[in-house]
Amino acid sequence: MSDIFIIRDLGVCRKAQFDDKTAFTYFEVKAGVDIWNRNLPLNYIIFIFGGVIEISCNEFENRYFQQGEMIFMLRSSSVHVKVVKNAKLYVMYFETFLSPCDNQLFKAYVPDVEKIVYDFRPIRIPKEVFVFLKQTRSLQAQKVDCKHFNSLKHNEFFLLFRHFCPREDLIMFLSPLIGKSMSFRSKVLEKYSQLKSARVTELADLVGLGRKNFYKYFINEFGISPAKWMMQERAKRLLIFLSEPDVTISDAMDKFHFNSPGHFNRFCHQYFKTSPGAIINEKRKSKIEVTENKNDTN
C-alpha cells in the first residue's frame, strides 16, 4: 500500500537543484485502507478525484470528503485517513510558498483570516484548477516529472488558485497557513511532537513563551487549558500509535512517557474505557477482517 504522506523521490533536471519539498502524486487506494501519520512532515492538499475518504486531523474528527473536493492539512498535524469508498487521490506536498508573489498576496488576507473560526472543511475544486490537475497528471503519466517540473507546477497551481477560487473559500481553506494566530497553533503542534515529558512548562519553553503568556495565547487559540489539550492530544496520538502494525505495549509506554504499566492502564481506561492490550487486539482484528473481506471480493 502506498503511504500518501511520504514524498517520493523526484528526478533532477541536469545541474538545476530545485526545492525537492514540493510535488504532486496520484494514488488509487482501496476501501478499508487506514493511513496514519502522527506528525506531518510537510503541508498537504488532497484533491479527491473519486471515492470517499474519512479524515481525523488534530481536534477535527471523522470528517468525510468526496469526489470533487479538496482539503488542506497543516504541517505537524496528527492525521488518520480511512478510505470509505475506493478513492482516487491527487496529493500536493509543499513546505512553503515558492513564489515571493504568493507570499505577499496571501499576507494581505491575514486580517480576514483573523475574523473566522477554522473548522477543517473542504472546498470544491475550481473548474480551472481541476483542468490544470488533469493536465499535470497526464504529463506525469508520460514521464514528464522531475523536481523542476514540480516546482513550476507548484507556482502554477497557486496562481490559478488565487484567481479562480472564491475569496471566502480561499481564506477558509488556507487560514491555518497564513493566519497569525494559526502560526501559534502550528508551532504548538510542531513542538508537541518534540516533548520529552508531558509537562506544560516544557511545551511553553519549546514554543518560546513564559508560562503566563503561553497560557493566555493557548486559551485564546484552542479554547481549553494547555493541560487538558495535552491530555486529549496524547490520547488521540496514542490511539493512532496503537493501531499501527507490530506495536507493543512497551513501545507505547516509551513513546508516550508512561512511567508504569498501571499508569498506562489507568489512562487507557479513562479515555478509551478499555485496556491497552484490548485496543491492540481490536485494531489487529479489524485489519484481519478488512484483509479477508478484500480477498473474498477478489
Is 296 a member of any domain? no
pLDDT of residue 205: 92
Contact 43, 72 (CB under 8 A): yes
Same-domain pairing of 202 and 243: yes
Same-domain pairing of 156 and 231: no
Q: Which of 177, 204, 225 is the last residue of a domain?
A: 177
Is 293 a member of any domain? no
Domains of the chain: total:
2
Widest pairwise Cα distance in the chain? 59
pLDDT of residue 220: 80
Same-domain pairing of 81 and 213: no
Q: What are phi and psi of 26, to 5 degrees?
A: -100, 140
Cell numbers standing for residue 59: 481536534
Q: Which of 151, 177, 203 is the last residue of a domain?
A: 177
Is 6 a member of any domain? no
* DSSP secondary structure string for all residues of 233-245: HHHHHHHHHHTST
For 70-92, b/e burial (b = at least 16 CB within 10 A) is bbbbbbbbbbbbbbeeebebbbb
Is 127 a member of any domain? yes
Same-domain pairing of 40 and 88: yes
Q: Is 93 left (phi over 0), alpha (psi -120 to 50) or beta?
A: beta
Cell numbers standing for residue 35: 493511513
Same-domain pairing of 115 and 59: yes
Same-domain pairing of 163 and 279: no
pLDDT tens for the chain, residues 1 to 298? 468 988 776 655 554 444 558 999 999 999 999 898 888 888 999 999 999 999 999 888 889 999 999 999 998 888 999 999 999 999 999 988 888 888 888 888 888 887 888 899 999 999 999 999 999 999 999 988 888 899 999 999 999 999 999 999 999 999 888 876 556 877 888 788 788 877 899 999 988 888 888 998 888 878 889 999 898 888 888 887 887 778 889 989 988 888 899 999 999 999 899 998 898 888 777 654 444 444 454 4
Same-domain pairing of 97 and 151: yes
CATH code for the domain in which residue 274 is found: 1.10.10.60
pLDDT of residue 17: 47
Same-domain pairing of 255 and 121: no
- Amino acid code (one letter) for 123: I
Same-domain pairing of 166 and 198: no
Same-domain pairing of 125 and 263: no
pLDDT of residue 181: 57
Q: Which of 177, 204, 222 is the last residue of a domain?
A: 177
% helix, strand, coil for the chain, step of 5: 50, 20, 30
Is 130 a member of any domain? yes
Is 295 a member of any domain? no
Is 108 a member of any domain? yes
Residue 49 structural domain: 22-177
Cα angle 162-167-168, degrees, rounded to a multiple of 5: 140
Same-domain pairing of 47 and 74: yes
Is 209 a member of any domain? yes
pLDDT of residue 202: 92
C-alpha distances in Å from residue 224, one per residue of 55, 198, 267 = 23, 16, 20
Same-domain pairing of 106 and 55: yes
* DSSP secondary structure string for all residues of 29-98: E-TT-EEEESS-SSEEEEEEEEEEEEEEETTEEEEEEETTEEEEE-TT--EEEEEEEEEEEEEEEESS--
CATH code for the domain in which residue 145 is found: 2.60.120.10
Q: What are phi and psi of 125, to 5 degrees?
A: -70, 120
